[in-house]
Amino acid sequence: MHPRLFTIELPGHQLAVSTYGLLVAIGVMGGIYLGYRNAKRVGIRPDDYLDLTFWGLVVALACSRAMFVLTNLDRFRGDYLKVFAIWEGGLVFYGGVIGAVAFGLLMMWRRKLPFLRSGDVIAPVLSIGHAFGRLGCFMAGCCWGKACPRPLGVQFGRHSVVYENLAASGGIHPPGSLVTQPLHPVQLYEALGEIVIFGVLLHLANRKRFDGMVFFSYLVLYAALRSMTELFRGDAARRYIFELPIPALARLLHLPPGEPLLLSTSQLVSMVSAALALGGLLWLGRRAREQAAAAAVSSSGEASS
């Protein structure tokens, strides 16, 4: 892996360019540009869209980092300045989503922006930006997977986050090895899933029957993806509501049979968000059908008169 893309030599100092940070930046900028074009097409003022995405991104990064720090306080004891080293990895996506949604609702209310239509524009931005973010996680070696047999397993070197964490907990076998044991590349699983979701959202955006269809579809699809990828996650930063091993399923998925598969905090959040989003889709769909039926009756009445 390549946590550092390259290093710039400065007088008395070295400036390392983080692969994680660069990939996140590419994903965010590409997603914002795509959303900017779509916002103009659906009648959202470009200035409002740019303000919403820029400040929403700032809030999302701050909240996702804050949640990571709160769940990993031991990593920062004695060196609290590392709290701000986001380019080294360490973000909790759902923390960012909660913060960004709260901020977005406030800003859309103040700017009088259509919430559902704005959400439809932003959803593809989130999916493609997150895909690049997971590629960055893979290069940094964070958000790693459980043990996995070859040839699917990936080994991470000494300068990766996963190696440092496993070395500190005695998880490098044999001791002194320069690489980790083969692990599931769960970061790539999620990146691929996000790219698929991105394609589905673009398809829906051109064929949606009501505002909110793209946004709520994204919530359902990502919740399903995250619930599945959580089965393969092995990083200690994750927390469980309760630990339930399922040895038969673990063997089928080439996972260590004794490790829990359910129920992590992210799986619980995914289930709740999926249920709420499905309810939103059903309600909006029914309302759209009722409005279409009422419009048809009104037009037929006018034609007969």
pLDDT in tens, 189-228: 999 999 999 999 999 988 888 999 999 999 999 999 999 9
- Distance, in Å, from the CA atom of 26 to the CA atom of 13, rounded to the nearest integer, reads 26
DSSP, res 44: -
pLDDT (tens digit, 9 = 90+) per residue, 94-111? 677 788 888 888 888 888
The first and second tokens of residue 263, run together, are 């129920």
- Distance, in Å, from the CA atom of 210 to the CA atom of 167, rounded to the nearest integer, reads 52
Mean of the per-residue pLDDT values of the chain: 83
Q: What is the mean pLDDT of residues 179-186?
A: 92
Give 164 or 218, the one with higher predicted confidence. Answer: 218
Q: What is the mean pLDDT of residues 131-138?
A: 87
Q: Which residue has the tokens 């103040």?
A: 110
Single-letter code of the amino acid located at 190: E
Say if residue 16's pLDDT is above 90: no
Give 29 or 18, the one with higher predicted confidence. Answer: 29
Q: What is the mean pLDDT of residues 108-135?
A: 87
